[in-house]
Amino acid sequence: MKKIIGIILPLILIFHCSVSVLGTSQEYGAIYCRNSSHLKQVALTFDDGPHPRYTKEILSILDEFNVTATFFIIGVNAERYPEDLKRIVNAGCEIGNHTYSHTRLSQLSSKQVRWEIERCQTVVQNLVGIRPVFFRPPQGAASESVKTVSREMEYDIILWSIDTRDWELTPSAQIAATVLSQLKGGDIILMHDYVSGGNTTCDALRIIIPEILSRGYEFVTVSDLID
């Protein structure tokens, strides 16, 4: 299988994320993009890692400001950089499943979708002893087969309400302006710790984290946000 590491295609959102919570039943397979009932909490999320340089740098920034985040892991990257996966866990951050190879799930059969999720799950469990409970499909494309498999595998699907588009190497000031102009209670902010060709995410974090804290918000994990 071709291993796709940190290459992000244009994001395709099946669901409009102005809605607070989609699918709030007690069953697995709920789809979340924000939770407006948490008026002063937001969740930072990072996709596609771990990365041998930027994951560590992001964790250092989070530690500097004493905040936490949720990292959606690509299995093949975890295999290549297991120590960086362990750093995420040791920092007290949350781990989510982002498939094994970051392939476009809409082009796969249900069996292949299950394999992608299971393989990433197995890698994470073997390396850090954690079984993720959240799944984020690549490009946010939650097709019917993805929803069905996620429910059967007892995963909830996590999308987002603020897209920083840092995967495009958007200038850090522009990322900050996007986040701070859109910010509302219960937001899930999409960022990346693995982007091919560079990184503007770290500089953006140094702008947005202190400003968000100054507005009286608390950074929490996805688990805490949707609780």
**Catalytic annotation, pick one of 47, 163, 187, 193:** 47
Cα distance between residue 112 and residue 33, in whole Å: 25
| Local structure of 94: helix, strand or coil | strand
- 47 catalytic residue (yes or no): yes
- Within a 13 Å sphere around the CA of 6, how many CA atoms are in the beta-carbon half? 23
Which residue in 38, 51, 192, 193 is the catalytic one?
A: 192
- Describe the crossing of helices 54-65 and 201-214 by its angle, rounded to 10 degrees: 20
193 part of the active site: no
Give the list of residues 6+ apart from residue 166 with CB closer than 8 angstroms, or none: 175, 191, 192, 195, 200, 201, 204
Task: Name beta bridge partners: 96.
Answer: 72
Structure tokens at 38: 């948490």
Active-site residues, by number, are 47, 192
